[in-house]
Amino acid sequence: MSALEPTTPSAPQRARWAWRPYALTLPALLLLVTVIGYPLLTIVLRSLSEPQWGLQNYAWFFGAPVNLTVLQRTFTISAWVTVVCVLCAYPYAYLMTAVGPRVRLILVLCVLIPFWVSGVVRTLSWVILLQDSGVINSLLRSAGFDGVRLIRTQTGVVIGMAQVLLPFMILPLYSVMKGIDLRLVQAARSLGARPSRAFFTVYLPLSLPGVYAGAIIVFILALGFYITPALLGGPRSTMLSTLVQTQVLSLLQWGRGGAMGVVLLVATFVLLALAAPVMRSRHREAGRR
């Protein structure tokens, strides 16, 4: 018997303490149930019960072409934002793992400082940059180019949203990349792999869990965006949250607003369920290698 044995609990002991981690999650669970679970339940109930019990609010949602256009647009814009975030965040997060601690600190600050500034302020500064008489267009014009329409377009909305959401992509990516043993890449290189090959067959698959985690967070947050599309977008970049706002706050149609929320939630779940097998199989493959 080793001296360490008494510190490892026996089976019955382990069972006795098994509830402990759950107890520690109690505050979080309580918060989730009260501030998310209960309102969510109310939303679902109201979507089915107002003005009377039935599916009228859902029938209305799928009967009005504008709702479907906007729903589809919401997913398209969110997908674009996710793509832009991945492309911008990947090299950035990689750089964070490659540099010394002091530069890394600066890089982390560069991500976090805009994160601490209110989203409204950041979006308004994008208005100044993107508007027709704004900084970007003045620069373009003074360089002899034609100005481009950025504000009140989907491009403008995607740019603004990607900037707001970038930290949510960089941070999970960094935490995964930091755990990748760079000697594996060196090993690949020493066995004769070209740098690109070493990256695509060794590094990229190992970093994919970070990409997936970040992409899911960014995509889901993007679906519910309200302020940025409202300030940077025009009618053709209206997202579902704006329609919900109109129904609830201007028309007092809480049932319809609720139905829209439920549709968005369900559509998100369906999409994630479809994406999950892809992510899982890739993940396993990467693990096997």
Partner 1 sequence: MLKSRYGIGAVLALGVLTGAAFAQDKPVAGEVKEGSLKGKTLTFVSYGGIYQDGQVAALKEFVDKSGVKLLNDGPTEIAKLQAQVESGNVTWDVVDTDDLPPYVYCGKLFQKLDLTKLDVSKIPEGQVGECSVPAMNYGVVLMYNKEKYKDNPPKSWADFFDTQKFPGVRGVDGSGSPTGGLLEQAFKYAGGDPKAMTVADIDKAIDVVRKLGPDTIFWKTGAESQQLAESGEADMLMMWTGRAMTAVKNGAKYAPAWQDWLVVMDQMTIPVGVKDTDAAYALLNAYLGKNAQEILTEKTSYTPINSEAQPKVDASVSAFLTNTPERQKQGYKQNFKFWVPNFAVAQEKWAALMAGN
Closer by beta carbon to partner 1, 159 or else 243:
243
254 is a contact residue toward partner 1 (CB under 8 A): yes
Closer by beta carbon to partner 1, 70 or else 198:
70
Q: How far apart are CA 236 and CA 158, in angstroms?
A: 13
Shortest distance, CB of residue 226 to partner 1, whole angstroms? 11
Question: What SS3 class is residue 168?
Answer: helix
Amino acid residing at 153: T
**Site for partner 1 (CB under 8 A): which residue of 40, 129, 208, 230?**
230
**Site for partner 1 (CB under 8 A): which residue of 70, 77, 185, 188?**
70
138 is a contact residue toward partner 1 (CB under 8 A): no
Shortest distance, CB of residue 71 to partner 1, whole angstroms? 11
Closer by beta carbon to partner 1, 44 or else 230:
230
**Site for partner 1 (CB under 8 A): which residue of 23, 24, 66, 273?**
66
Q: How far apart are CA 211 and CA 75, in angstroms?
A: 19
Q: How far apart are CA 158 and CA 155, in angstroms?
A: 5
Shortest distance, CB of residue 32 to partner 1, whole angstroms? 23
158-191 exposure pattern, b = at least 16 Cβ within 10 A, e = fewer: bbbbbbbbbbbbbbbbbebbeebeeeebeebeee
**Site for partner 1 (CB under 8 A): which residue of 78, 237, 241, 268?**
237
Shortest distance, CB of residue 83 to partner 1, whole angstroms? 22
Taking each continuous run of H as one helix and of E as one strand, the counts in the chain are 16, 0
Site residues (CB under 8 A) for partner 1, limited to 175-194: none
238 is a contact residue toward partner 1 (CB under 8 A): yes
The CA radius of gyration of the chain, in Å to the nearest whole number, is 24
Shortest distance, CB of residue 163 to partner 1, whole angstroms? 20
**Site for partner 1 (CB under 8 A): which residue of 194, 236, 284, 289?**
236
Report whether 201 contacts 188 (CB < 8 A).
yes
Residue 142: Cβ within 10 Å count: 8
Closer by beta carbon to partner 1, 56 or else 246:
246
Q: First CA to last CA across the chain, in angstroms?
A: 38
Q: How far apart are CA 114 and CA 200, in angstroms?
A: 32
Name the site residues for partner 1 (rule: CB under 8 A). Answer: 64-66, 69-70, 73, 131-133, 152, 230-231, 234-238, 242-243, 246-252, 254
